[in-house]
Amino acid sequence: MRIKKVKVTLLLVLFAVALVAEPLPVNATSSLIQQNSTIRIRGAGGYPIQYTPGNNIFVPFSSDVASGNVIVVAVQVSNGPYTAAAVVSVVDSRGSSFTQAVHTSNGPMHAYIYYATLSSSGPDTVTATFNVDLDDYGGFSYLFIYEVSGVNTTSVATATGSGTIPNNGPVSTTSTSFENGAFLVAIMGCDVMTANWEAGSGFTMSTVLVPFEDTYIQLTRVMYATSGVSSPTTFPATLNHLGDPSDENWYEAAIALNPATRPVPNPYHYVGGEVFSANKLAILSPYLALFSVVAIAAIIVGRKLT
């Protein structure tokens, strides 16, 4: 009888183990949810107004840049009544490939915004080169640079505006729309001292430059925002002019970089596929319960056989 007990118990236990060891169904990949990355901004500030003649302007970052981050460059240049000045190239010491996102002008004044994705990490200096040497009377240039993480460059929205009408409202985008929480940069200029800028909802003024010269007076604002954008098609940057409208030549160039998305496993929803290890215990629970019942039954049967 002892032999029968052992055989029956062993068979029942092996049957229960076989049930537990049954492979879990594997079909497709588990579903993923998309989550926006956190946007982080590091600006090197604006270069002081360049009084000296020359055909370029440069700004270094104060610390190393990181591969994969995006550099955004805003450039403004004017040569006053002399040969028109324009940006011909933007480069950096890391060998990044810059794309001109937008350009606008009003009279001799030009504004540009470029961007590039960093392919390496380390010290970095950004240089903008012009087509002519700027005159030492009436010529000037500005350069602003930002290192941004958590954005993508696949769908860059742009906007431009120019004119002489005061109290100008927000400038609408001229290309694709942007998402709430996007990184926005706007460079705005006016040739009179009495112009005033309002940042608009979500915007932060990053730099205010003091005008110079008696005739070609320039006032510039560079601003950025990462939140508070209520409309996906409008840059909430406002110009309020306080001087004579007939003498106010203003212009604006702006871009928006949408937040980058990253896939995150969704523990609550699956479209088939291997279940994450944290959930395997729940799926094995019925098998474990059955194993317990079979084991108890085996013990009872074994005792009866004795």
Highest mean pLDDT, choosing among 14-23, 183-192, 273-282: 183-192
Q: Establish if 125 belongs to a structural domain.
A: yes
Residue-level pLDDT at 209: 52
Confidence of residue 237 (pLDDT cuts 50, 70, 90): low
The residue written with tokens 């960093």 in the block is: 118
Q: How far apart are CA 301 and CA 12, in angstroms?
A: 10
Residue-level pLDDT at 165: 62
Q: What is the mean pLDDT of residues 106-120?
A: 89
Residue-level pLDDT at 38: 59
Same domain flag for 145 and 293: no
Q: Is residue 81 within 8 Å of residue 136, measured between CB atoms?
A: no
Residue-level pLDDT at 89: 93
Same domain flag for 64 and 197: yes
116 CB neighbour count, 10 Å cutoff: 21
Give the dihedral sign, CA 137/89/208/220. positive
Rounded to 5 degrees, what are φ and ψ at 117?
-95, 125
Residue-level pLDDT at 110: 86
What lies within 8 Å, CB to CB, of 138 at 6+ separation is 78, 79, 80, 81, 82, 213, 215, 216
Q: Establish if 202 belongs to a structural domain.
A: yes
Residue-level pLDDT at 133: 86
Residue-level pLDDT at 123: 93
Q: What is the pLDDT of residues 34-66, one digit of tens each?
A: 445 556 666 544 444 444 568 888 888 888 999
Q: Establish if 42 belongs to a structural domain.
A: yes
104 has which bridge partners? 111
Degrees to nearest 5, angle at CA 55 with 42 and 92:
35
247/48: higher pLDDT: 247
Same domain flag for 165 and 133: yes
Domain count of the fold of the chain: 2
Q: Establish if 139 belongs to a structural domain.
A: yes
Same domain flag for 185 and 290: no
Q: How far apart are CA 115 and CA 158, in angstroms?
A: 12
Confidence of residue 231 (pLDDT cuts 50, 70, 90): low
Residue-level pLDDT at 15: 33
Same domain flag for 167 and 251: yes
Confidence of residue 184 (pLDDT cuts 50, 70, 90): confident
Asked if the model's pLDDT at residue 293 lies above 70, the reply is no
Residue-level pLDDT at 222: 56
Percent of the chain with pLDDT over 70: 43
Asked if the model's pLDDT at residue 81 lies above 80, the reply is no
Confidence of residue 246 (pLDDT cuts 50, 70, 90): low
Q: Establish if 210 belongs to a structural domain.
A: yes
Q: Establish if 222 belongs to a structural domain.
A: yes
Structure tokens given for 300: 């009872």
Give the C-alpha distances (Å, rounded to integers) separating 281 from 107, 285, 286.
71, 6, 10
Same domain flag for 44 and 18: no
Same domain flag for 125 and 41: yes
Q: What is the mean pLDDT of residues 105-128?
A: 90
Rounded to 5 degrees, what are φ and ψ at 298?
-65, -40
Residue-level pLDDT at 51: 46
Least confident of 17-21, 98-102, 175-179, 224-228: 17-21
Q: What is the mean pLDDT of residues 125-134?
A: 90
Q: Establish if 268 belongs to a structural domain.
A: no
Domain span at residue 15? 2-31+273-305
Mean of all residue pLDDT scores within the chain: 65
Same domain flag for 125 and 248: yes
Q: Establish if 110 belongs to a structural domain.
A: yes
Percent of the chain with pLDDT over 90: 13
Same domain flag for 87 and 186: yes
Least confident of 105-109, 143-147, 164-168, 281-285: 281-285
Q: How far apart are CA 19 and CA 287, in angstroms?
A: 7
